Chains A and B, each alone.
Chain A
Amino acid sequence: MGDYAEFLNERLKNFVHTMQEFYYFSTRTFKSFKATRRYWNEILNQMSICGTESIPIIFVSSLAIGCLLTVEVGNQLEGFGAKLLTGRTTALSVIREMGPIVTGLMLSARVGARNGAELGAMQISEQIDALRAFGTDPIARLVMPRLFAALVMFFPLTALSDFVGLVGGGIVAQIYHHIDPGFYWNSALNQLIVKDFVVGAVKPFVFAVIITLVSCFNGFSAQGGTAGVGRSTIKGIVVSSGLVLVANFYISKLVLENMNF
């Protein structure tokens, strides 16, 4: 019993210490936004990596989810004779939830893995220490450009995901459920209200912060050789994906409960 209590105490102490370090790391990252002009080229490079290069995976996954959603929703609504509402249900699901969450999870895997592995490899090969030793702030040089790029690029990627999901849904609605495209788009777009867009628009910014900070923090904390880089990368993806799901729930709840237009 004593050993178990000691073990728990140790784990709790480590958790609190990690949270403290993460808070310090995040604060320093936001403070280093003042170096934006200095690292503008690196920011553009990161925007290309996390934005432009992510388009194919976002396109494919959103198309698949949009199509699948329309098949399932249409089938269910058909039982109630309400098949013509397929567009509305698909649009609400895609814009409020599926678009942001698919984008968030895909970017958590793609961008999070890249950040964790690249920074982890730099950490174990002492490159991050070298930056510090020669007077360069590694957070301003390596983390801030990634966060800035994610904040700029995640929103258009989510918008793309929404659009592709709706178009995929429209195609399936016409081919599979034989719904006239005019009915589909009319039902999809006409009844959307501001809060539907707000809930979908807030999420990418929150996800950008979560994914970038968690993956970079884990990269910076890597230790124990190449196996350590693997561990920190996995941890970064798992934690950021979990937090994306939790944040998604709370943002939806907060906006939908408190906004009436």
Chain B
Amino acid sequence: MIEFKDVHLYYSGREVLKEISMHIPDGKITAILGPSGSGKSTIIRLMLGLIQPTYGEIFVDGIEISKFSEEELFPIRKKMGIVFQGNALFDSMTVSENMGFFLRENLNLPEHEIARRVDEQLKFAGLETHAHQLPDSLSGGMRKRVAIGRALIFEPEMILFDEPTAGLDPVSSNKILAFIGQLKKEKGLGAVMVTHIINDVFSIADDVLILYHGEIIFHDEPNKMQECDHPFVQSFLLDPEEL
């Protein structure tokens, strides 16, 4: 479970996040929706401790992490896999090397155990035949699945997605969303998904949290959005392209 208590973040003299308080339960898919520059991706970075809040507290499974050092954050980060917007794959490594990289780096596992875990993720992501290809030679959807496979390799309790369908064609987007749904169904994995696409939210999210100018203006189930009287939510529901 992830909890934010009165989190504020200033960047270059600008208040990027204002008084964010929320809690994200395990085993559910929570979407963070908002226009560009509203602070969505910043929230994911705060959850992983990649940046620290100016004020406020962040709890992961009841542990306050906002002042943790890099070393102290490692066990916390192992609980959460992340899929970056641009995938952040190492372009000089093959698909299987990308997936196994962090196991080799951080866990003292025998090579056969690393190979087993990599094979398992390759199979789950449907990429067995692409194991020895470089990421550049794959389609956008496949690269996303490699990034998801890499995020799953530590067997995390939650997975964070930064714009998982950005830049993908509709077919690939649907496949990725189905894949995220499959993770929840088959592995019981909770997810936080940052997006600006409302269809993604209605497709798979259990909860939605709407950010506007660094503030949470809505946090509930997606079908309750209609009842929200905030002008941004109303105008957004009328014209989702406006986002």
- Chain A positions within 8 Å of B, measured between CB atoms, are 125-127, 129-130, 132-137, 141
Contact = CB atoms under 8 A, between A and B. Distances in A.
B86 A126 contact: yes
A132 B70 contact: yes
B84 A129 contact: yes
Given A132-B70, A133-B77, A126 B84 contact: yes
Given A126-B88, A141-B105, 10 more contacts: A129-B45, A129-B50, A132-B50, A132-B77, A134-B82, A134-B102, A135-B74, A135-B105, A136-B102, A137-B70
Contacts of A127: 88-90
B18 interface: no
16 contacts: A125-B88, A126-B86, A127-B88, A129-B45, A130-B82, A132-B48, A132-B50, A132-B70, A133-B48, A133-B82, A134-B106, A134-B150, A135-B74, A135-B78, A135-B102, A135-B106
B106 A129 contact: no
Contact of A130 (B70, B78, B84, B154): B84
B88 A129 contact: yes
Nearest to A134: B102
Contacts of A130: 82, 84, 88
Nearest to B105: A136
Contact of A133 (B50, B86, B105): B50
Contacts of A129: 45, 50, 84, 88
Contacts of B88: 125-127, 129-130
Interface in B44-74: 45, 48, 50, 70, 74
A89 B150 CA distance: 61
Contacts of A136: 102, 105-106
Contacts of A137: 70
A127 B74 CA distance: 17
Nearest to B74: A135
Contacts of B105: 134-136, 141
B86 A125 contact: yes
Contacts of A134: 77, 82, 102, 105-106, 150, 154
A134 B82 CA distance: 8
B85 interface: yes
Given A127-B90, A129-B50, A135 B85 contact: no
A137 B102 CA distance: 11
A132 B50 CA distance: 7
Nearest to A124: B86
A135 B86 CA distance: 19
Contacts of B90: 127
- Nearest first, the 3 A-B pairs at minimum CB distance are A130-B88, A126-B88, A134-B102
A229 to B, nearest CB: 14
Contacts of B74: 135
Contacts of A132: 48, 50, 70, 77
B50 A135 contact: no
A137 B70 CA distance: 8
B73 to A, nearest CB: 8
Nearest to A14: B12
Contacts of B106: 134-136
A85 B102 CA distance: 61
B50 to A, nearest CB: 6
A141 B101 CA distance: 12
B206 to A, nearest CB: 24
Most chain B CB neighbours (cut-off 10 Å) among A134, A137, A141: A134
Interface in B86-103: 86, 88-90, 102
B78 A126 contact: no
B12 to A, nearest CB: 10
B91 to A, nearest CB: 8
Contacts of A135: 74, 77-78, 102, 105-106
A56 to B, nearest CB: 24
Contacts of B85: 126
A67 B45 CA distance: 56
B6 to A, nearest CB: 25
A250 B104 CA distance: 45
